[in-house]
Structure 1
């Protein structure tokens, strides 16, 4: 069984396209968890319609505390052996689930994988054919503390990782950075070079490809996440 976790907020413009790309890939016992953070547009109506047509769609009212807490809440509801994170405005390639599960089955010690993404614009025109190449994505604990490249839109992980990543500390810059670093510490993460997601960039994105934060702000983030990682990894081991 797999769980796909989506955190929504005012996502009416692209949500249907994303749901239509995910649901055909799911088996009858799988689940698509949607946690909404108080949308004011037609997002809830779209979710209601899909839920009425497909019992695999499970809706929850999110905590209303931002994207990190919303993803944390969605992950908490998941029941699957494998958990996929999905943004509300992307599009999954038809073979994403199959390729990811095959990778997990052939690499039983790997807890988390990140598959490559095609960076596209609002109309799905290609901006960059490979997120990995564009961002020089590499695995590694220290490397990604200094300059994070872990991306939730391409992320999937085994359910046993939940006990180590949850709860997500309030001071981390982003949920995907935290999850990726927890898995990376044990050298249990891997990359799938094939682009399996159309990663849509537009004016309303909740995250940035290249952060505009100042050096000082980035330094504060690194200090904060280093501290909470130390507490989680070493003091709880």
Structure 2
């Protein structure tokens, strides 16, 4: 009903502004100590040919990354809805993802790191892949490696099939997911199960997507993936640390990573009573693989040799781990120093 003046003339009523709909895609551009790379990462996000929500989130780093990001975002004029923020304390990879994910509005979530560069067609290509494959819940892509200075760099990374399901993880006998820097997923992958558990996001998201549907790995390189001292992958897997400590630290961090991924998968399985029996068995095989591998690596670095036998025997009996466990049994005969351990 219109308001009316005393004279009887209708009072003009201003229509409430219509809020613009949120873009279909949210880019989570997560950064930490990326002051030398963040401008290039932001420029590549802004160059995407599909309008996006871009959430730039800094994990409370102390090197000026946030200040640079804030400056670049303040000067941005374009079709994307861009915000920049930082956490109050340093959260770590997975918790930082959870914190930023809670702010996203998109139906499709595209991951991006503050030291990588996305090609302009990345988001458009991802959208087409999801539209063409309704059963796909999570995807990754090929990538081009670059070094600190942006020069081409050969990066070794096992290729995934172009399309696969949960059975793939058991068949290959390796605890690998999609590369987090190349990942995108439907938001149901998080909304269905809640925040991620564990220290690392990529394997947990990969397995969640496989529980809910298919996984894709696009053969088109969609990012330039930067390897440099201080990168997240280098830190987690101790790639850039001194040889005398690298093996032990890599094992210690991998134990945490495997246990966290197993905890996340177990949490998801409890929330899926409707999961078909055959698929549940596959998921339980994968869960057992993560648990056994964590125990085996912990025993290898910290316990007497006779304590290795338990995980080795469990691995020999476990589908997906038999070959790896046979190789580990051979190590029982070798000095630890041969494997970089003291």
Distance 1:152 1:165 in 2: 19
- Residues 141 and 185 in structure 1, CA contact (< 8 A), matched pair in contact too: no
- Residues 147 and 227 in structure 2, CA contact (< 8 A), matched pair in contact too: yes
Match of 1:50 in 2: 72
- Residues 182 and 229 in structure 1, CA contact (< 8 A), matched pair in contact too: yes
Match of 2:190 in 1: 162
Which deviates further from its counterpart, 227-236 or 138-147?
A: 138-147
Match of 1:101 in 2: 127
- Residues 12 and 42 in structure 1, CA contact (< 8 A), matched pair in contact too: yes
Distance 1:45 1:218 in 2: 33
State the secondary structure of the residue aligned to 1:25. coil
In our comparison, the structure showing a higher alpha carbon Rg is: 2
Please say if 1:120 is aligned against 2:146: yes
Match of 2:59 in 1: 37
Compute the TM-score of the two structures, normalised by the length of structure 2: 0.61
Please say if 1:60 is aligned against 2:96: no
Distance 2:59 2:202 in 1: 18
State the secondary structure of the residue aligned to 1:231. helix
Distance 2:194 2:120 in 1: 30
Distance 1:167 1:91, change over 3 A: same
Q: CA deviation at 1:119?
A: 1.6
- Residues 137 and 213 in structure 2, CA contact (< 8 A), matched pair in contact too: no
Task: Spell out, residue by residue over 1:173-227, the C-alpha distance to the aligned partner (whole angstroms, 9 max, x if none).
Answer: 4111110111123442111011111000001101139935555764564345324
Distance 2:110 2:135 in 1: 17
Distance 1:201 1:231, change over 3 A: same
Please say if 1:25 is aligned against 2:48: yes
Please say if 1:73 is aligned against 2:99: yes
Distance 1:192 1:40, change over 3 A: same
- Residues 34 and 57 in structure 1, CA contact (< 8 A), matched pair in contact too: yes
Which deviates further from its counterpart, 2-11 or 82-91?
A: 2-11
The partner residue of 1:231 within 267, 283, 302 is 267
Aligned-CA RMSD value: 2.6
Match of 2:224 in 1: 198
Distance 1:217 1:19, change over 3 A: closer
Distance 2:234 2:210 in 1: 22
Mind listing any 5+ residue stretches in structure 1 that lack a counterpart? none
Q: How many corresponding residue pairs?
A: 231
More strand by share: 1
